[in-house]
Amino acid sequence: MKRVVVLVSGTGTLLQALLDAQADGTLGARIVGVVSDRADAGGLQRAHYAGLPTVVVPLDKDVSSAPQPPGAARAAWDAALTDAVASFAPDLVVGAGFMRLLGPSFLARFDGRVIGSHPALLPSFPGAHGVRDALAYGVKVTGATIFQIDAGVDTGRILAQEAVDVLPGDTEDSLHERIKVAERSMLVRIVRDWSPTERKP
Ligand code: GRF
C-alpha cells in the first residue's frame, strides 16, 4: 500500500476527504503522517482524530534574533520540513491547502512525488488568492487543478482539472466551497490512481 504524507496549513477539508476515502477503502493508499507549517491548522485536529502522527515545522518570520544572511531562515525551514516528511518514508507527498512554497531541498528529496491542489484552472490565477482573483476578474467559469508541484508558483505538470461555474451573487467563500468539492473528488482519484513506479518526467 503506497504511503502518503499530507501537508496542510488550514482547515484541512481536503485532508478529510482523503481520510474518509481511506476509511471506506477507496483511497488505495495509507496516510502515514500529516505535517503543517502552523500549529493552529485545523487539519492537525483532523489528523489527531484519525489517530495519525503529526509534525509542525513553523516558519517563524523572525526565526532567530541573530542576523542571518537573506534566505538562511527559509533554507533552514525547508531542510527541517524535508526531514520531518522524510521521517514517514512517503511514496507520495500531497499538498492539501499547504500555503508555503516548497524549496529546492524538499523537491530534490521527493522529486516528482509531490502533488498539490489549486482552486483555479491553472495556468490562470496562480498564487495564494486564486478564487478571489478569478472572481475579481469576472470570469464565468473557473475551477480546480491537481498538479505536480515543482519549484515554481503553481507551475507544475497538470494532472487533472474540473470546471466550476461562477454563479450570480457568488462570494469568494461560496465559490471556494464549490471549488473545494471538485478538488476533493479529484484529489482522491489522483492519489488512488498514482503509481509509485510511475516517475513523472
Ligand atoms: C483549497 O482550496 C486549496 O486548493 C487551497 O486552500 C484550500 C484548502 O482547503 N490552497 P482546506 O484547508 O483543505 O479546507
| Domain ranges for the chain | 2-193
Whether the bond between 69 and the residue before it is cis, its omega within 30 degrees of 0, is no
Q: What is the pLDDT of residue 99?
A: 95
173: left (phi over 0), alpha (psi -120 to 50) or beta: alpha
- The band of 60, judged by pLDDT with boundaries at 50, 70 and 90, is confident
What's the whole-model pTM score? 0.94
Class of 2-193 per CATH? alpha beta
C-alpha cell at 162: 474540473
Q: Which atom of ligand 1 is nearest to the CA of 179?
A: 2
For 32-55, write each residue's pLDDT tens digit. Answer: 999 999 999 999 999 999 999 999
The answer to whether the beta carbons of residues 90 and 31 sit under 8 Å apart is no
Q: Is 96's C-beta closer than 6 angstroms to any atom of ligand 1?
A: yes
Query: How many angstroms separate the CA atoms of 6 and 190, rounded?
Result: 14
C-alpha cell at 62: 523572525
Q: DSSP class of residue 191?
A: H
Q: Which atom of ligand 1 is nearest to the CA of 10?
A: 12
For residue 67, how far is its CA from the centre of ligand 1 (angstroms)?
A: 34
**Could you confirm whether 118 is annotated as catalytic?**
yes
- Helix, strand and coil content of the chain, in percent to the nearest 5, comes to 35, 20, 45
For 186-198, write each residue's pLDDT tens digit. Answer: 999 999 999 976 5
